[in-house]
Structure 1
Amino acid sequence: MSLSDIAITRLKGVGPAAADKLARLGLHNLEDVLFHLPFRYEDRTRITPIGSLRPETGVVIEGEVMAADVVFGRRRSLLCKVADGTGMVTLRFYHFSAAQKNNLERGRRIRVYGEPRPGAAGLEFYHPEYQVGTSLPPLEKALTPVYPTTDGVSQKTLRNLTGQALHYLNSHPPQELIPGQLLDQSGLPSLAQALSKLHNPRPDDPVSMLLDGQHPAVQRLVMEEMVAHQLGMLQKRAGQKALLAPRLQADGLFQALTDNLPFALTGAQQRVIGELLADMGQPHPMLRLVQGDVGSGKTLVAAAAALAAIESGYQVALMAPTELLAEQHRDNFRQWLTPLGIEVHWLAGSLGVKARRETNAALAEGRAQIVVGTHALFQDAVQFHRLGLTIIDEQHRFGVQQRLALREKGRFDTSRGVQVPHQLVLTATPIPRTLAMSVYGDLDTSVIDEMPPGRKPIDTLVLPEGRRPQVIERINDACRGGTQAYWVCTLIEESEELQAQAAEAAFEELQAALPDLKVELVHGRMKAREKAERMARFSRGEAQLLVATTVIEVGVDVPNATLMVMENAERLGLAQLHQLRGRVGRGGEQSYCLLLYKHPLSQTGKRRLAVMRDTTDGFVIAEEDLKLRGPGEWLGTRQTGDLAFRIADLMRDEALMEPARHVADDLLRQYPALVEPLLRRWLKGGEHYADI
């Protein structure tokens, strides 16, 4: 019998009610308990003299209660003075009972655990754990683990259950699911030894190595977890590739399109188009992610794929996360495809009932060859006659089920098996390699790493808010010289209403300061039609300055715009700063981005602005952004699914990602019977988190 076969209810103190609470933490059996690891440790193995206390360091002190009094200030509190001969310290309780006060009588021995912090009476412990009595229990012999918990499950409960589970560990060691010949175990402990060490480290163990992930016990588990995640990706990819897809062949339409373009494709665009056509010519679904920095020409690459599908008699659906971006794609596709006799249909939330009904009918009957839209595309009323290719732009902004819903619209049974559309995913947000291997490991990746000829790098300047008058004068000079400019107002983590107010205030200020210029205003509170009209006027050159919130992050292409000013630039993450900056520099003229900041700047703010000033390379910026924000926040709403590693850390353990991929490949090929147990141990069904 293995640990995973022993229900958690076998442990003392776990009845049905407790089992339900523990299930919220994913704890159902003894293996779950042992793989529920501490996120920090407390040292309760030694007593620290009061005279040696340092702020915000967890310690045990022991002494004598000198006084315990209720004091009244802004809040009523119980203050207890404790002395040990080396000094005196205060315990402060805002929530207390009369019995608690009476128990803390003068002269009693007390042992306290907590973190002292500077307070009104010097160093103070706020609501610390304590024991009072003439004979206090022995000190802990090992470091005290602190576990992730949930409502109704205390640290004491988790420590007790883990202690019981560790007794089973010797007689029921967990199965080693990665054979030794696949895993370089030199210097690494066994799984049982690693679990024992992490739950029960000795006082002389290097806690910093345990917490920093450098200890061999942590590395042993990190490697296994990463292998499990890679296996989930590989298995999902194999499942996708086992499906059928239509063979799509290009037959001249894209060549006809490029013959009429006023520019030549870059070598990178030609290479990526070749990769797409090779994939779509196979009888199994293409699963390809195309990364390309702002302005690298991803949309034209997508058009090549779309034309191959249309020439082969299939329909194409292109979905973007915002109506603004979807409109930009629609307009580009109409400009390119209308001369070829192909009508580009449109489906978005703002579309009227009659127009929506007509588009749905054209799609269902097969008269519509290509449709561009937003989330409206995956609604039940939308049915395709013969969907052969789905294109998803900035797909990390969509939920897993939304992407699957679009793919399923092209799914049908054939005599040879299930057929689904090919899938092309676009992103203008360069994805750090570590994250790409972890989140998009089931996709083939293409990178458009070349900008169109004639593009000049954008010069970026970082300026304090006090330089605002000079910045406004610079806008005036630039616009009167014949170019256009953006003024972006940033108020992240605020309501759309506040963002609109900030933009309106800047609009009024700039109108007054620049009376000779035509200034337009765009923000998220406007109706879609009004917003589109104002942006269109700016695009046509009827306005010289566009004041906007971050709604212009994507989907705005005005080659004549050569200057962008961002207020409060320190508020934004690097990825968003880079996306916004990409709105300029789209023509042949030298362009500039001015980042205005307010004092005081945090260290993170300084680093962000320095990165923006020093590089325009999207991949360098993405790597720095990942370091600053971490993977969870980098992915925004985490709609890619559950990326939460239990032990591994994408940044800290980056060097293990590649070896884990190789181990996963070998395990899948040589030891297939071990794959499912490994996935169950680590992913708990989460192997489907990155379905695309």
Structure 2
Amino acid sequence: MSPPAADTLESLAITRLKGVGPRAAERLARLGLITLEDVLFHLPFRYEDRTRITPIGALRPEQGVVIEGEVMAADVVFGKRRSLLCKVADGTGLVALRFYHFSAAQKNSLEKGRAIRVYGEPRPGAAGLEFYHPEYQTGPDLPPLERALTPVYPTTEGVSQKLLRNLAGQALHWLQGHPPEELIPPALLDQSGLPGLAAALTKLHHPQPDGPVDLLLDGQHPAVKRLVMEEMVAHQLGMLTKRAGQKALAAPPLRGDTLPRRLLENLPFTLTGAQQRVIGEIRADLARRHPALRLIQGDVGSGKTLVAACAALIAIEAGHQVALMAPTELLAEQHLANFRHWLASLGIDVHWLAGGMGAKARRDTLAALADGHGAMVVGTHALFQEAVRFQRLGLIVIDEQHRFGVQQRLALREKGRFGNQVPHQLTLTATPIPRTLAMSVYGDLDTSAIDEMPPGRKPIQTLALPVSRRDQVVERIRAACRDGTQAYWVCTLIEESDELQAEAAEATFETLKQALPELTIELVHGRLKGREKAERMARFASGAAQLLVATTVIEVGVDVPNASLMVMENAERLGLAQLHQLRGRVGRGSAQSYCLLLYQTPLSQTARRRLAVMRETTDGFVIAEEDLKLRGPGEWLGTRQTGELAFRIADLVRDEALMSPARAVGESLLKSYPDRVERLLRRWLRGGEDFADV
């Protein structure tokens, strides 16, 4: 591909702008700002209106405004914290400015009678409406008001909004003589009613106050749509190049019918139609000479693990090894128990590799994998450590892959690399992925959905109850366990601390032991050692204990068909996906199961909606879509792992309708304009093209 022409925005270094020396350039590089084009595509995420003065008497809480008035007093006051309190009046009312961090010079500058202009968001405080640490200017000659809305940019430590606004203004000036190249040909992009790229960028960085600001903020303005479409095309190109990178690699063709058939003949039940369909898709994948990369999503209890077992047996029958990696030891142990149970009758040993195992057991597993006698291993992160060697690794199964970073997944794949040949890979997830996220974040994967539950399963009945009815819930547990079923009591805290979670669970455990002395109760939390945790879980699974008190450590991987009652304390603190995952610990047998959501009042509007959705449906795919609407894509995805792609201006919920057209444009660009692909990736993904081999 030919490099960009000299003196284009794409080629000009950010140091060409005033105010950018070596130190500033280093800080700006952390934001991905290397060239002038990078500055222009570093877009505001909101705007402040500093173009008009709001009378103090018309202030509303938490609305960003500019006020002008006269300083009436500025005094140091002592309460819970020492602060500087400045009172400002304008003839329509009085408001306070409060500063917790201030200097003597600042106090002296706020002398009585001085004119002052303030920008900020007033909030209710001890002195009525107060501005906390607002921006302000004082003096007899205040500068003119802003003529355009003030953009607010994503930033990082050491990079101020003032600097970013200054750089954007300079870059817009350069834009007049060096417009950015339209990398998507108009023939491919339906631009009816949409502005050109230069006009769209100018509008977003420098919107006029008399324009349709609401359309800008809501993402409905044509300038926003123009850039959203290009960003979505770039993301689809990222997915397509990742997929092409996969297909450029080789993989061993794996075929086998006898072992999977023997496994299914030994089962006391038949597979669902959905399981049979997905196994057929996997069988076709594994028979090819390039690596399978398939995401298998299915609701809790839909039978994903059995599908993975059939895939493993195809690989083993073909003479290759299989590694299954799970994010937690508890989940990995559950997989180990299932696979040993299913594969023992076929004469196949399933090995174990995790951080907490003894030295001799570890040496034995490593030796079996290295000499090829270990056909299958189940484990945690320990699987991709340097000491692990495989002889013929042909298939990797990763459970809940979003909990692993890209480099961790790559490290395990490299264990099976032989020249240009790598293992096939299957990914399991019990968190159904909304369609828009599947297309944007997992677009490089083939996807299969196990969208049918085993016969005989009854939908879980869910009730939401205030914590004031806790005693009635305890009696409900007593009655259920007296009837021969088992129950979970899950303790949740909003803090992520294992120690605090454990303390909450221990306190609940002691309270329930006193309230239910006739029951055998076990306690499981994240601070227990692996062996102790496994022993307690085993006692519950065997029926020796009737009630399991636990933290959210039991979110996945726990399968006790006799458990038919789930109580979740502080349910309003959890997201829909986690609530649904925890609820899936019951309803795994033929008995009618119940889930009781205990909540604290008052409930926020979002919490109220979450609990309503849980009552209305048990369909994980419906719940995933609702969760995406409530939380938005950024929070739904959680902390993005290194190498995963995040949007800068597009919104996956708002802009869902553009996803399919963007993929079609991306495919056409790859086919007809391959020389533009890398530049689009560089413009929007800032290095995302480097992950084509992930």
Q: What SS class does the counterpart of residue 90 from structure 1 fall into?
A: strand
Q: Output the CA distance in 1 between the equivalents of 2:601 and 2:495.
A: 19
Rounded to whole Å, the distance in 1 between the matches of 2:306 and 2:198 is 54
**For 1:267, which of 257, 270, 273 is the aligned residue?**
273
1:452 and 1:100, CA in 2 relative to 1: closer, same or farther beyond 3 A? closer
Change over 3 Å in CA distance of 1:376–1:74 after alignment to 2: closer
- How far apart are 1:644 and its partner, in Å? 2.5
Distance 1:6 1:332, change over 3 A: same
Moved more, 677-686 or 560-569: 560-569
Deviation string, structure 1 residues 394-441 (Cα, Å, up to 9, x no partner): 11111111111111111112xxxx111111111111111111111111
- In the other structure, the counterpart of 2:127 is 121
TM-aligned CA deviation for residue 526 of structure 1: 1.8
Q: Is the 8 A contact 2:353 2:362 kept in 1?
A: yes
Cα 1:309–1:95 shift into 2, 3 Å: closer
2:491 to 489, 492, 513: 489
* SS of equivalent residue, structure 1 residue 371: strand
Alpha-carbon distance between aligned partners in 1 of 2:87 and 2:525, rounded to the nearest angstrom: 57
Identify which of 439, 442, 452 aligns with 1:440: 442
Residue of structure 2 aligned with 1:532, choices 531, 534, 544: 534
Shift in CA distance, 368/69, structure 1 to aligned 2, threshold 3 Å: closer
Instruction: Provide closer, same or farther for how the CA distance between residues 495 and 121 of structure 1 changes in structure 2, counting only shifts above 3 A.
Output: closer
Tell me how far 1:135 sits from its aligned partner: 3.2
CA offsets, 1:346-374, max 9 Å, x none? 11112211111111111111111111111
Asked if the contact 2:243/2:692 (under 8 Å) is kept, the reply is: no
CA distance in 2, matches of 1:81, 1:503: 49
Aligned position for 1:651: 653
Q: Aligned with 2:10: secondary structure?
A: helix
How far is 1:67 from its partner? Answer: 4.1
SS of residue paired to 1:236 = helix
The one-letter code sitting in structure 1 at the alignment partner of 2:135 is E
1:123-522 alignment runs, 5 A limit:
123-413=129-419, 418-522=420-524
Q: State the one-letter code of the partner of 2:490.
A: V
Contact 1:400 / 1:690 at 8 angstroms: preserved in 2? no
Measured at CA, do residues 72 and 515 of structure 1 come closer, stay the same or move farther in structure 2, by a change above 3 Å? closer
Alignment pair present for 1:607 and 2:615: no
Higher mean C-alpha displacement, 156-165 vs 316-325 = 156-165
Provide the aligned C-alpha RMSD in A: 1.9
Moved more, 81-90 or 464-473: 81-90
- 1:80-109: CA deviation from partner (whole Å, max 9, x where unpaired): 443333334333344444444444444443
SS state of the match for residue 4, structure 1? Answer: coil
Kindly provide the CA deviation profile for residues 559-583 of structure 1, in whole angstroms up to 9, marking residues without a partner as x.
1111111112112221111111111
Aligned to 1:111: 117
Change (3 A) 1:524 1:55: closer
Q: Report the Cα distance in structure 1 between the residues aligned to 2:217 and 2:436, rounded to whole angstroms.
A: 21
Letter in 2 for 1:135: D
- Separation in structure 1 between the aligned mates of residue 690 and residue 40 of structure 2, nearest angstrom: 24
Q: Secondary structure at the match of 2:124?
A: strand
Distance change >3 Å, CA 171–CA 270, structure 1 → 2: same
Alpha-carbon distance in structure 2 between the residues aligned to 1:105 and 1:504 = 57
Q: Is 1:10 aligned to 2:4, yes or no? A: no
Per-residue deviation, 1:192: 0.2
Larger CA deviation: 614-623 vs 680-689: 680-689
Q: Taking structure 1 as reference, are residues 371 and 494 closer, same or farther at Cα in structure 2, changes over 3 Å only? A: closer
The 1:180–1:81 alpha-carbon spacing in structure 2 relative to 1, beyond 3 Å, is: same
Counterpart residue type for residue 115 of structure 1: E
Distance across 1 between alignment mates of 2:478 and 2:210:
66
Distance between the aligned counterparts of 2:543 and 2:88, measured in 1?
74
- Residue aligned with 2:545, SS: coil
Q: Distance in 1 between matches of 2:93 and 2:478?
A: 66
Counterparts in 2 of 1:4 and 1:563: CA distance versus 1, 3 Å: same
Which amino acid is 1:6 matched to? L
- 1:457 offset after TM fit, Å? 0.6
1:319 partner amino acid: M
Shift of 1:21: 2.1
1:632 to 1:54, Cα distance in 2 relative to 1, 3 A = closer
State the 1:689 CA deviation. 5.7
Does 1:672 pair with 2:678?
A: no
Instruction: Note the C-alpha offset of 1:594.
Output: 1.2
CA contact (8 A) 1:254 1:307 kept: yes
Count of residues paired in the alignment: 688
Is 1:590 paired with 2:592?
yes
Q: Secondary structure at the match of 2:504?
A: helix
Q: Is the 8 A contact 1:521 1:546 kept in 2?
A: yes
After superposition, the C-alpha distances for 1:631-669 in whole angstroms (9 at most, x for unaligned) are: 233233323644321111222222211111111111111
CA distance change for structure 1 residues 84 and 425 in 2, over 3 Å: closer, same or farther?
A: same
Task: Return the alpha-carbon distance in structure 2 between the equivalents of residues 691 and 435 of structure 1.
Answer: 20
Alpha-carbon distance in 2 for matches of 1:200, 1:184: 25
In 1, the alpha carbon distance for the partners of 2:529 and 2:71 equals 67
Alpha-carbon separation, structure 2, partners of 1:461 and 1:86: 52
Give the whole-Å Cα distance in 1 for the aligned partners of 2:401 and 2:94: 59
Other structure's SS at 1:5 match: coil
For structure 1, which runs of at least 5 residues remain unmatched after alignment? none
Cα distance in 2 between the residues matched to 1:527 and 1:66: 63
Q: Could you say what secondary structure the match of 2:566 adopts?
A: strand
Q: Is the 8 A contact 1:229 1:687 kept in 2?
A: no
Letter in 2 for 1:681: R
Q: Choose the corresponding residue for 2:583, options 581, 602, 615.
A: 581
2: distance between equivalents of 1:462 and 1:280? 45
Letter of the aligned partner of 1:460 in structure 2? T
- What is the alpha-carbon distance in structure 1 between the residues aligned to residue 283 and residue 49 of structure 2? 60
Q: Which is worse superposed, 509-518 or 118-127? A: 118-127
| Whole-angstrom distance in 2 between the partners of 1:668 and 1:208 | 36
Which stretch shows the higher mean deviation, 93-102 or 383-392?
A: 93-102
Contact kept? 2:441, 2:644, Cα under 8 Å: no
Distance 2:488 2:125 in 1: 48
Cα distance between partner residues in 2 of 1:589 and 1:63? 70
For structure 2, list consecutive stretches of 5 or more residues without a partner in the other structure: 1-6
Checking the alignment, whether the CA contact within 8 Å between 1:640 and 1:689 is kept in structure 2 is no
Q: Using the alignment, how far apart are the partners of 2:178 and 2:152 within structure 1?
A: 24
Counterpart CA distance in 2 for 1:400 and 1:390 is 14
The alpha-carbon deviation at position 136 of structure 1 amounts to 2.9
| Whole-angstrom distance in 1 between the partners of 2:86 and 2:548 | 62
Give the superposition deviation at 1:245: 0.6
Tell me, what secondary structure is at the counterpart of 2:368?
Answer: helix
User: Of residues 23, 28, 35 in structure 1, which corresponds to 2:29?
Assistant: 23
1:506: how far off?
A: 2.1
Give the secondary structure class of the aligned counterpart of 2:462: strand
TM-score w.r.t. structure 1 length?
0.96
2:3 counterpart residue number: none
The 1:533–1:73 alpha-carbon spacing in structure 2 relative to 1, beyond 3 Å, is: closer
CA 1:612–1:640 in structure 2 vs 1: closer, same or farther (change >3 Å)? farther
SS of equivalent residue, structure 1 residue 487: strand
* Partner SS state of residue 288, structure 1: strand
SS at match of 1:419: coil
